[in-house]
Amino acid sequence: MNLKVIEGRLTEAQVGAGFERRAFGEFVGLRGELASYAFGWTTESEHHVARLTVGIGAGNPGGASFHAIVFDNDGSYACSLVDEPFECVPEGGPDLTASEARAHPDLPFIWWVVDRVMERDRRARWMKHWLLGTASIQTGEVFDRKEPILYVSHDADDGLWQLIGASNADPASGKLSHLHHAVEHDLTLLDVLDLEPGKRAYRAGPDAPWTGEPA
């Protein structure tokens, strides 16, 4: 059986000057293990800390919901169990406190699920770029949303992301902005947020599929 991370619904609600986003999904392990998950973040918040829930074993002994926060950890992410519940998920059970979760025999499986979700759920990549404050440089036309993004590259030397439209890129008019803001205006970027350093992707138009190649 193939491992599956199945993206579910994405909700968005305005909170002050920002938005609270919550993403849901289902997980199927290599031996058919089931889990449900949810994660979320609030833009324009003072601290870049996200939240998540993973639930297993609904209706069975040992079934439970685990809750954690997610935060920047030297250019990657780290998680810490918390007492406060975040979301109710279909495969979940009773909400565990942090100490109860640490004592649960399936905690290693929960962390394994979290890592697979962070790798494979496109919305989790978006959240990770928000956590890390990933920078991008955009042409003036893209920044002002006068042109759609047709070319994306992830520079190998400095890690900077470049977002370019139909016009030729002019360094003099380039604008620095966080990558996660660009996704807010163009959700098709979810498909290229996993570009490795030194890679690029392009498309013929805003409705065309992305094609990737080495930079």
The DSSP code sequence of the chain is ---EEEEEEEEEEEETTEEEEEEEEEEE-TT--EEEEEEEEETT-SS-EEEEEEEE-TTSTT-EEEEEEEEEETTEEEEEE-SS-----TT--SBPPHHHHHH-TTHHHHHHHHHHHHHH-HHHHHHHHHHHT-EEEE-HHHHTTSS---EEEE-TTT--EEEE-SSPP-GGG-EEEEHHHHHHH-GGGGGGTTPPTTEEEE-SSTTSPPEEEE-
Q: Are residues 36 and 97 in the same domain?
A: yes
Domain boundary among 112, 132, 152: 132
Whether 161 and 99 map to the same domain: the answer is no
The reported pLDDT for the residue numbered 215 is 54
Q: Which of 109, 132, 155 is the last residue of a domain?
A: 132
Q: In the chain, which residues have pLDDT < 50?
A: none
The verdict on 185 and 141 lying in the same domain is yes
| 26 and 110 assigned to the same domain | yes
**46-87 pLDDT tens trace:** 889 999 999 999 989 989 999 999 999 998 999 999 999 999
- In this structure, the answer to whether residues 159 and 74 fall within a common structural domain is no
Are 174 and 96 within one domain?
Answer: no
What does the DSSP 8-state code read for residue 95? B
> Taking Cα atoms as reference points, which of 186, 150, 183 lies closest to residue 167?
150
Let me know whether 52 and 154 are in one domain: no
pTM for this entry: 0.93
Q: What is the pLDDT of residue 180?
A: 96
Check whether residue 34 and residue 127 sit in a common domain: yes
Total domains present in the chain: 2
Q: In the prediction, which pLDDT does 13 show?
A: 95
pLDDT at residue 22, rounded to an integer: 98
Domain with 31, as residue range(s), is 4-132
What is the pLDDT, as a whole number, of residue 156?
Answer: 92
Same domain, 144 and 127: no
Domain final residue pick, 83, 106, 132: 132
Distance from C-alpha of 111 to C-alpha of 102, rounded to nearest angstrom: 11
Q: Count, in order, helices (H) and strands (E) of the chain.
A: 5, 12
Query: Can you read off the two tokens belonging to residue 135?
Result: 């920078």
The pLDDT score that the predictor gives to residue 54 is 98
Co-location of 15 and 120 in the same domain: yes
Identify the pLDDT of residue 16. Answer: 87
pLDDT at position 203 is: 97
Cβ proximity of 100 and 60 under 8 Å: no
* Predicted local distance difference test score (pLDDT) of residue 169: 77
pLDDT in the model for residue 171: 76
Are residues 110 and 43 part of one domain? yes
d(CA 31, CA 47): 38
Judgement on whether residues 102 and 200 belong to the same structural domain of the protein:
no
